[in-house]
Chain A
């Protein structure tokens, strides 16, 4: 700060002395002197402006340099942001898939439930007619057949409904898988914010390199988004089973 005030103080002193001599020359009517003094005051002002622009340019240059030197930022831009895009696409795919799975199961189950309701109520009416002794032998035979058919279909329909409801339940696994991905993207956004803040803070200082921490431990990574590209990633349960059996499991 002290250097800044000294830098500013010097031109102010100079301009003050120029102004004082301008006043005395004006009083004495030295026109030539007066014009010279006004020109030199102007040029003082311009050179200060150039100095300021120069300082800002320098700061911008340093900031750009820091941006390049900060490995974390370049890693964010080159790897993690495109990666996040892929991850968010994965979230869309998984949620879409789950929604369709749920809707498919519902669309299959609704007509079954409707049919059960209709045949149930028809059956109840017939049964009421029978208990009121309003049914002849032939009608009773036909009702018995229909009851038999109904009981069979109840068994089959219940199985279908069971399967549909299980499907709906399993489709909810998206919440875990996409939740893990969204957490990673939140972390990325936070890192990006911190990176940008540090670039702004460092903009006056050159060559501040933020080292990427290199964690050698096995870390959790969440769901793998592009299984095909990485030979280290298992493509499914069968691969996992093969690997485990090769390890003696």
Chain B
């Protein structure tokens, strides 16, 4: 896992973006950017060569699930690893995200350890593939 990889954090709450940004920094990832919903995130992803996307689900404008679908539908972004960090915790929502091609799913409230484990797992799988 490259500690210098470029990560986009998408959440409509700036407090949550800061928390995730700080946790990622603790894990050694300092190359992070932020967006407050899918509509802002998508053009950043298209032009910015990101290596990893961490997104919330419930956001005004474009929701995280639609951002995930848009990423998977775009040939240039289709392989981008996506971790969802969200309060959405219904079974059919998680199934929906899985079917849309999410790489990991963390429910809020979460711990620093959970975030680390899910990120590790995502990149273990990618490196093993």
Interface residues of A (CB under 8 A from B): 166, 169-170, 172-173, 175-177, 179-180, 218, 220-224, 227, 230, 232-234, 236-237, 240, 243-244, 247, 249
Contacts and interface: CB of A to CB of B under 8 A. Distances in A.
A221 B105 CA distance: 16
A247 B95 contact: yes
B108 interface: yes
A224 B22 contact: no
A170 B16 contact: no
A223 B91 contact: no
A172 B90 contact: no
A172 B92 contact: no
Contacts of A221: 58, 88, 90, 93
B108 A170 contact: no
A173 B109 contact: yes
Given A180-B58, A224-B87, A233-B89, A240 B108 contact: no
Nearest to B96: A218
A220 B61 CA distance: 12
A176 B13 contact: yes
B62 to A, nearest CB: 11
A213 to B, nearest CB: 18
A218 B65 contact: yes
B68 to A, nearest CB: 12
B112 interface: yes
B98 A173 contact: no
A75 to B, nearest CB: 20
Contacts of A224: 87, 89-90
A240 B92 contact: no
B33 interface: no
Nearest to B109: A173
A249 to B, nearest CB: 7
Contacts of B105: 240, 244
Interface string B80-120: 00000001111111111010000001111111101000000
Nearest to A248: B98
Contacts of B65: 218, 220
A222 B100 CA distance: 19
B90 A232 contact: yes
A243 B114 contact: no
Given A169-B19, A249-B98, A232 B58 contact: no
A175 B18 CA distance: 12
A222 B58 contact: yes
B11 interface: yes
Contacts of A236: 107
10 contacts: A173-B15, A175-B16, A176-B13, A220-B58, A220-B64, A221-B58, A222-B88, A232-B92, A243-B94, A249-B98
Contacts of B52: none
B63 interface: yes
A233 B22 CA distance: 29
Contacts of B108: 173, 176-177, 223
Given A218-B96, A224-B90, A237 B110 contact: yes
B13 A179 contact: yes
B53 to A, nearest CB: 17
Given A176-B13, A176-B16, A244-B105, A237 B94 contact: no
Given A236-B107, A243-B91, A243-B95, 15 more contacts: A170-B111, A175-B16, A177-B87, A220-B59, A220-B64, A220-B65, A222-B58, A223-B89, A224-B87, A224-B89, A230-B90, A240-B89, A240-B106, A243-B94, A247-B95
